Structure 1
């Protein structure tokens, strides 16, 4: 099955040009299989640009906020992460309900336009902040340390942060628009990964059954297509996590002439990020519109189609009644309670999802900015940090191939169980890094444990995602996906709460211990889910 994601290659053949210009022709009421292939490749293109733009933006923003304190504090990285977590935590379920109740194409366009324009606004505020940060140099910050030595606890937390009015307004703008961009990006991810990919895979399975009338394993074909699509999209995610930080880590020092760039050297990167997100907006908009045109099933959000596959008519009717009840209720607390109720009714997959959410209570990753800021504090240059993040993502990319092999031989439950256990074993190396006094070995154990654990992390992530896709009915998929994103963000923001109370990089041992404990608890929860399945 083709997984090429180059847009120009998609339009080179006459068949693909005809599909792009004229739309699909129907065969016995089914979409031709070649049309589904083409739609899936367009889905990959849209997903690639969305993920590359998002990852490049988040990586560069971590550098912007760290540079504002001249790499001497985790406080801005922590407050930004906390604002992201709160926004997704409280907005995730509402986004999920919006997805369930709104036309698929309209929802996707809202996420694309609003999300990318929010990033552009946040980069403009970042430019202002970086322009102001050079007014307070490292020497002045050292003097400020002496002044604040006997000051209040709160003032010491914000030591080194530029606090003039223009910088404060810029920081507020970054936190507000950056949080909005994250919520909208998660909404687009839920819509595409949890919904569009399922409809596409179902269309492929129906096309196969139309081409082979004697075929009686349509459900099996659906599962294979869905698994292949999930793996390919995760490979795109991880490929972007390799390319975007590595490119930034190499190109920023090249253009700035500094291994650890100053705020002044970083401000022009803001303009490049804004330009790239504008270009990504155009590509995502065109691709999603064309996919929607190619697959008529995307225009149908009735629960009946899903019921035909999963025999969940009673559940679907109950869910619709709950939806109407919640629409009548003005109470946000009641809506939240109902959404959590819907999520936890999906047993035992809810326990697997809760285990996945617990993995976000873990700073042992290059993705949340805290470990990046810690390595910069310990003297590692930016190019090395970017390269290590790329290595970790490349190892995680191997996990997608491992998942494909494992899922073809084992059940999803068995695949998830061995992968989360493997991740926990790798993080033992990070705990050992706290016990050695040799700096070089501590680095090797810490970075090695984090990098090796990526295989287990992504195998587990894909396994739980597919369990939810296959076991959650169509008319609940948006709510369950939104609540899952909220839970992920809720646990993730706890890391940044820790960063607020332990802002100095020398307290990184707190994050190492917390990360190991969270993965251990996730292992126990998933083991309970497997027990409930087998009971």
Structure 2
């Protein structure tokens, strides 16, 4: 009877225990954080376009300035994260990010109010001041968000998992699913507020959300911090000036051991003032130029990591016009699809991304992390072949003659035909997809293939992202997690800015096919980089030996032994993950 009465209590207690666990509070914190981030990311672009009289000047300025700041300061932010305790880092970055978004949203609300009332100050210098204030606070929030995400996603999750790789994989998968869900739902909520309310109302809601959520998020992190004592113990990264002094002191001590006592005493008496002066000058120089030195040393630290090829593969994935960003959405819309169809496509891409988080945990448990990465990159490449095929499919606006033709020809085309642009156009834009002489009838095969390719490729993309994220978590030292992930963010931004530069060089819809081909080459390069990492770790890529054994078994199974088993003199596969032999050659027998 006691067992029967205890069973319901055990279930309820297990449920309550999970609601009080560190994982639950991390998930809830991540949901609040990502919900606010995606609301602001979606709304900020619309605010800037609206305040700029439907031009893209402010939006482009914000994108370029923000990308440049991330590129320059990403490594420094990561270095700062490594040098401070965990709770201090999240407190500073969380409050800085939320307060910056709140102040930027308040500035947006004030600007919208002045514009709506037609106040004379709006036409004066105050307009430029408000625009600059909005962009500066938005960039500050973006930089603070990098530090916060590095600390939570790359450090806290690793400590909470306590060395259990399966638990870490589940934490990564669930947080990524939360991120993708918020990416779908949060912009929808803001869009509804803008549609049925106003832009001013949405700015007030965003400001209020960030003010309230900063205390809620910090409270949940405090609970996690108290429940996981290991979070209070962190190996801090020392400054470069201190490291140089320590190394110099060690070298001097080694030299002193080799010098006789009498000679050493004479040298000490003569060189004490000079040594003090030199050490003081060195320290002053190191402190003055420490940010520059940190930036250089951060990239060196990144380059010597064991997983550098895998992380470079992740960065290469950012150089693509085959994702649902502003450029891709503008291209899709210019081919004649409605806003509703674009929104549904983005939602489907989010759903496939959420499905990939479920597949990742199962696949990693069965075949390991490196094999999962190989499958993910190959899956993305296979799916994107449909997008490549769309370049030459019926209805494609790609025109090689326009790309490689003479300047006179391009100028004549622009004069005689409607303006082709990757910015949103009026609904009559389907004329872009075909020439006037051969009007396109029926569905646009090109854009259908393009959408199917990029929607299905999200599965491989997010699996690859999760694989590389966990590789960085498992293989980067605790004192280097911040700087390595900060440099990773800088590389990601460099690839993304490269994409925008290419779009600026080839802005015409007729040249978008070339951008698709360049993007596909970068993604194939990413797959090759990850394959290089896998080969370095596992010592092989494919099981040629086992394939040969299987073929011999199929043809001569009855001759090799009883019941179709190979004879004892056949080669047996070695342990999983066998490293290359000492002479640099891969192992000759490997397991599945």
TM-score range, shorter-chain basis? Answer: 0.7 to 0.9
How far apart in 2 are the matches of 1:287 and 1:455?
Answer: 31
Q: Aligned residue for 2:227?
A: 294
Give yes or no for the alignment of 1:472 onto 2:476.
yes
Structural mapping, 1:457-468, within 5 Å? 457-468=461-472
Q: 1:354 aligns with which of 312, 315, 325?
A: 312
CA shift in 2, pair 1:445/1:385, >3 Å: same
Q: Determine the structure 2 residue equivalent to 1:282.
A: 215
Distance in structure 2 (CA, Å) of the matches to 1:385 and 1:166: 37
User: Is 2:76–2:294's contact at 8 Å kept on the other side of the alignment?
Assistant: no
* Deviation, structure 1 residue 350: 0.9
**Displacement of 1:320:** 9.0
Matched residue SS, 1:446: helix
Which deviates further from its counterpart, 124-133 or 525-534? 124-133
Using the TM superposition, name which of 387-396 and 165-174 deviates more: 165-174
Superposed CA deviations along residues 472-519 of structure 1, whole A, max 9, x for unmatched, are 111111111211112112222222334444566666445434432321
Q: How much does 1:391 deviate?
A: 1.8
Q: 1:155 — aligned with what? A: none
Asked if 1:341 is matched to 2:341, the reply is: no
Deviation per CA, 1:94-133: give whole Å up to 9, x if none: 1111111111111101111100111122223434555677
- Partner Cα distance (2:447, 2:504) in 1: 24
**C-alpha distance in 1 between matches for 2:244 and 2:358:** 40
User: Relative CO higher for 1 or 2, CA cutoff 8 Å, sep ≥ 6?
Assistant: 1
Give the Cα–Cα distance (whole angstroms) in 1 for the partners of residues 201 and 505 of structure 2.
Answer: 32
When residues 395 and 274 of structure 1 are mapped into structure 2, their CA distance, relative to the original with a 3 A threshold, is same
SS at match of 1:402: helix
Indicate yes or no: 2:94 matched with 1:112.
yes
Q: Secondary structure at the match of 2:216?
A: helix
The residue that corresponds to 2:61 in the other structure is 79
Give structure 1 stretches of 5+ with no counterpart: 1-12, 18-33, 137-161, 203-218, 257-264, 304-314
Corresponding residue for residue 556 of structure 2: none
Deviates more, 1:489-498 or 1:233-242: 489-498
In the other structure, the counterpart of 1:432 is: 389
- Cα distance in 2 for partners of 1:99, 1:80 equals 25
Summarize the Cα distance change of 1:69–1:467 in structure 2 as closer, same or farther, 3 Å threshold.
same
Task: Check whether the contact 1:51–1:237 (CA below 8 A) recurs between aligned residues.
Answer: yes
User: Does the CA-based 8 Å contact 1:123-1:174 persist in structure 2?
Assistant: yes
Among 173, 179, 182, the residue aligned to 1:240? 182
Counterpart pick for 2:168 among 222, 226, 251: 226
1:496 maps to what in 2? 500
Evaluate the alpha carbon distance shift between residue 383 and residue 286 of structure 1 in structure 2; reply closer, same or farther with a 3 A threshold: farther
- Distance in 2, matches of 1:324 and 1:91, equals 27
Match in the other structure for 1:49: 32
Give 1:169's aligned residue.
129
CA positional deviation for 1:194: 0.7
Tell me the CA shift for residue 291 of structure 1.
Answer: 1.2
2:369 to 412, 416, 421: 412
SS of structure 2 residue aligned to 1:362: coil
DSSP 3-state at the match of 2:21: helix
Please give the alpha-carbon distance, in whole angstroms, between the structure 2 residues aligned to 1:295 and 1:89: 33
* Deviation of 1:235 (Å): 1.2
1:449 aligned counterpart, secondary structure: helix
On the 8 A contact 2:331/2:509 being kept in 1, the answer is yes
TM-score, structure 2 as length reference: 0.67
Among 200, 206, 210, which residue is 2:160 paired with? 200
Q: Per-residue deviation at 1:41?
A: 0.6
Query: Matched residues in 2 for 1:319 and 1:37: separation?
Result: 43
Q: Distance in 2 between matches of 1:166 and 1:433?
A: 48
Q: Which residue of 148, 169, 184 maps to 2:144?
A: 184
Q: C-alpha separation between the residues in 2 aligned to 1:510 and 1:169?
A: 40
SS in 2 for 1:126: helix
1:245-394 equivalent positions in 2, closer than 5 A: 245-253=187-195, 255=196, 265-302=198-235, 321=243, 328-331=286-289, 332-347=291-306, 349-366=307-324, 368-376=325-333, 380-394=337-351
Show structure 2 runs of 5+ residues with no match: 1-11, 248-281, 396-432, 434-443, 540-579, 581-592
2:488 is the counterpart of 1:484: yes
Q: What is the 5 A alignment of 1:141-156?
A: none
C-alpha distance in 2 between matches for 1:98 and 1:324: 20
- Counterparts of 1:500 and 1:172, CA distance in 2: 24
1 CA distance for matches of 2:153 and 2:124? 43
| Deviation at residue 35 of structure 1 after TM alignment | 8.3
Q: State the number of aligned residues.
A: 441
**Alpha-carbon separation, structure 1, partners of 2:232 and 2:75:** 22
- Answer yes or no: is the 8 Å Cα contact 2:376–2:464 preserved in 1: yes
CA distance in 2, matches of 1:134, 1:506: 39
2:455 match: 451
Deviation at 1:189, TM superposition (A): 0.8
CA shift, 1:16, in A, is: 9.6
Distance 1:379 1:283, change over 3 A: farther
Give the conservation status (yes or no) of the 8 Å contact 1:74–1:370.
Answer: no
The 8 Å contact of residues 79 and 500 in structure 1, kept in 2 or not, is answered as: no
Q: Give the C-alpha shift of residue 363 in structure 1.
A: 3.1
Q: Cα 1:341–1:320, aligned 2, differ >3 Å: closer, same or farther?
A: farther
> 1:186 & 1:60 partners in 2: Cα distance?
19
Q: What secondary structure sits across from 2:24 in the alignment?
A: helix
**CA–CA separation in structure 2 for the residues paired with 1:135 and 1:382:** 30
Partner of 2:409: none
Q: Give the distance between the partners of 1:133 and 1:512, measured in 2 at CA.
A: 40
SS of equivalent to 1:301: coil
Distance 1:278 1:266 in 2: 19
Q: Matched residue of 2:392: which SS?
A: coil
- Does residue 1:40 correspond to 2:23, yes or no? yes
